[in-house]
């Protein structure tokens, strides 16, 4: 790989590509490759690149990269369209909360004990 990189650098230099252009192109390809591996997930890609998510997002904007094509196309469903499993989970949580003893509410009687 080192030989390939050396040959590429030599070719770029001999064809008159400026350093800033070479660095920009390298960043574009490197970031796009990692984003492709993570199906457009910027949080995962940033973690793999060793940078903060906001830095990656800003770099994507600066390089004018179009990452929409990398996503699965599926967004999170709207709350009203989520499966009924969530309703079941809410029900279980509500039942748990009602079964937990809550000492600050007392035993349900209207009288309070004063010591």
Give the percent of the chain with pLDDT over 70. 63
- Residue 108 has φ and ψ, to the nearest 5°, of 95, -10
Provide mean pLDDT across the span 34-62. 95
Cβ proximity of 67 and 61 under 8 Å: no
What pTM, to 2 d.p., does this model score?
Answer: 0.59
User: Looking at the chain, how many residues does it have?
Assistant: 115
pLDDT in tens, 71-98: 866 666 666 665 655 566 666 676 666 6
pLDDT for the residue 73: 63
Mind listing the domains of the chain with CATH numbers?
A: 7-72 (1.10.10)
């Amino acid at each position: 790989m080192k030989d390939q990189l050396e040959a590429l650098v030599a070719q770029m230099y001999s064809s008159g590509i400026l350093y800033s252009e070479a660095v920009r192109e390298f960043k574009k390809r490197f970031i796009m490759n990692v984003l492709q591996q993570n199906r457009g997930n910027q949080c995962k890609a940033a973690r793999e690149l060793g940078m903060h998510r906001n830095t990656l997002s800003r770099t994507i904007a600066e390089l004018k990269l179009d990452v929409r094509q990398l996503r699965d196309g599926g967004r999170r469903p709207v709350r009203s369209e989520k499966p009924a499993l969530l309703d079941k989970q809410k029900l279980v949580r509500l039942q748990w909360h009602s079964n937990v003893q809550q000492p600050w509410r007392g035993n349900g009687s209207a009288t309070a004990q004063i010591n």
